[in-house]
Structure 1
Amino acid sequence: MPEQTRAASGRPGWIDLASPHPETARTFYRALFGWDSYTLSVPGYGDYTVFTLGDVQGPEVAGMQSLVDDSQPPSWTCYFEVGDLQRAADAVKAGGGRELIPPSDYGGVGSMALCMDPEGADFGVAVPGNLIEFGTADRPGAMCWVELACRDIEGARRFYHEVFGWEAVDRDYHGSVYTNWKLGDWSVGGMISMDDSWPPNYPPHWIPYFWVDDCDAAAARAVDLGATIRIQPADIQPGRYATMTDPTGARLAVITPRIATGS
């Protein structure tokens, strides 16, 4: 692909949750991570919940909206910050992906487009607005990592390199291969292969990791709040982690890093 079609940045910038039960989700995440929240009324779009660290005046860490269509699964969407939204959307289509929601402006929230990679994992590209500061991450209580689970590893390497200029660096973790997505010296995320241990119809997906002080305690608290643990707390090189689905069915992970993940 020609160089000029690449996005300008490609770093994780925002995440939001599409939930069939926003009140249930709001209660869960406020109790699990100690978040507060407020609601923005976006002209032509409706209400949008913004989660904050600490009190309502704290930095914004994530958003939430209601599912438009009840047939869609609840999910977290990872948005990657870009300098030119239309160029990024064009790069997605040129690389074999799809544009699910075209570039749109959401007032002070920012301008965003929802996309899908060639294997079906959705993600977003975004340019920040003046009400929400993208990039509040890599601190306790916030997103500190994003990870793609897919089956076509080589196809994903090609696609995300063409769209964002990412380089795939493979590492050996206890006999299995883990891919780091790199922009220069910066690790922007990871990738794992969905092997035969995954259900055959389980879709490829991006998942956010949230930094917690105590992974085991956070997992136990999540269960008490209605979550289902998918991978019990376990040690990996970057720290101790667990994966789960929240009470509405959206996937997420928590991790207690040994070092600042993403640096």
Structure 2
Amino acid sequence: MPDVTSPYQPGTPCWVDLAAPDQQAAIDFYANVFGWTGEIGPPETGGYAVCQLKGRPVAGIMAAIAMDNQPPPPTVWTTYLAADDADTAAEAVSKAGGTILMPVTDVMSLGRMCIAADPTGAVFGVWQAVDFPGAGIVNEHGALIWNELNTTDRSAAAAFYRAALGIENVPLQGADNYYALKVKDRAVGGMQPMSEQMAPDTPSHWLAYFSVADTDRTVEKVTAAGGAALQQPFDMMAGRMAVVTDPQGATFAVITPNPLNQG
């Protein structure tokens, strides 16, 4: 069922958002590519845009603004992992060798969050839901379908996410050197060592996958709108996928899942 009607289990990817130098341009781009609707939010939310698909929240887009004389945040999609208690999760992240980049803070009445990096440098968010559980639609064309950790040290990353957030990892049958991330024995994401196809200086990172009806056609739309294909469409065990960037440089993946992989 693509509509999410119950809270996310702790450790499960529950939301993604993008910090973009030109927020409106980003909203327009993803509306064109995925059919999202969204608009810049009111001042009290910092202008944060909650984009929707079929009337349900699907992802966030915000303006990349420098804070306290710091450089603006990178133009990336951030994956948020659910937690029952953000403060407890932040303590566990630090104890397990991670780094808190933005301390736990309240987001109005919606929830509590922090931004962290694992010991290999991959940045992620922690989200404690109050009024807002996260993505209200997943695993449907135009929505988030998978979150993947690409890491320079798989063993260190595996130990960290197990200790900090209770996320287990097991080899994915039929996939070479690829691991399923599991919460309560349910696959909620993937993990793999850094691909040789990536630039040598590529840091560890989480990659968001969005489901699409036609990967080839979607890549055409991305490039026509000023984005680029980092990996042209190719077939793999889960479906036909590609890795692309938007016009402002944010990387994401698109996939047309095989019927057996839709959930």
TM-score by length of 1: 0.89
Counterpart residue type for residue 240 of structure 1: R
How is 1:83-232 mapped onto 2 (pairs within 5 angstroms)? 83-130=84-131, 133-171=134-172, 173=174, 176-232=176-232
Task: State the 1:110 CA deviation.
Answer: 2.3
Q: In the superposition, relative to structure 1, how do residues 143 and 248 fare at CA in structure 2: closer, same or farther (>3 Å)?
A: same
The aligned residue for residue 3 of structure 2 is none
Task: State the 1:154 CA deviation.
Answer: 0.4
CA distance in 1, matches of 2:134, 2:239: 27
The aligned residue for residue 253 of structure 2 is 253
Q: In the superposition, relative to structure 1, how do residues 132 and 181 fare at CA in structure 2: closer, same or farther (>3 Å)?
A: closer
Name the stretch that deviates more: 62-71 or 108-117: 62-71
Task: State the 1:177 CA deviation.
Answer: 1.2
Task: State the 1:140 CA deviation.
Answer: 1.7
CA distance in 1, matches of 2:160, 2:11: 13
Task: State the 1:198 CA deviation.
Answer: 2.9
2:62 maps to which of 52, 62, 65: 65
CA distance in 1, matches of 2:59, 2:73: 20
What RMSD over aligned residues (CA atoms) do the two structures have, in Å?
2.1
Q: Which runs of 4+ in 1 moved over 6 A?
A: none
Partner secondary structure for residue 254 of structure 1: strand
Confirm or deny: 8 A CA contact 2:24 2:40 kept in the other structure: no
* Structure 2, gaps ≥5 residues long: 1-8
Confirm or deny: 8 A CA contact 1:144 1:261 kept in the other structure: no
The aligned residue for residue 4 of structure 1 is none
**1:20 and 2:21 are equivalent in the alignment:** yes
Counterpart residue type for residue 10 of structure 1: G
Counterpart residue type for residue 247 of structure 1: P
Task: State the 1:184 CA deviation.
Answer: 2.6
* Structure 1, gaps ≥5 residues long: 1-7
Give deviations 1:163-206, integer Å, cap 9, x for gaps.
121221113556x3111101133111001211544322111110
Tell me how many residue pairs correspond in the alignment.
252
Confirm or deny: 8 A CA contact 1:145 1:262 kept in the other structure: no
More strand by share: 1
Q: Percentage identity across aligned positions?
A: 36
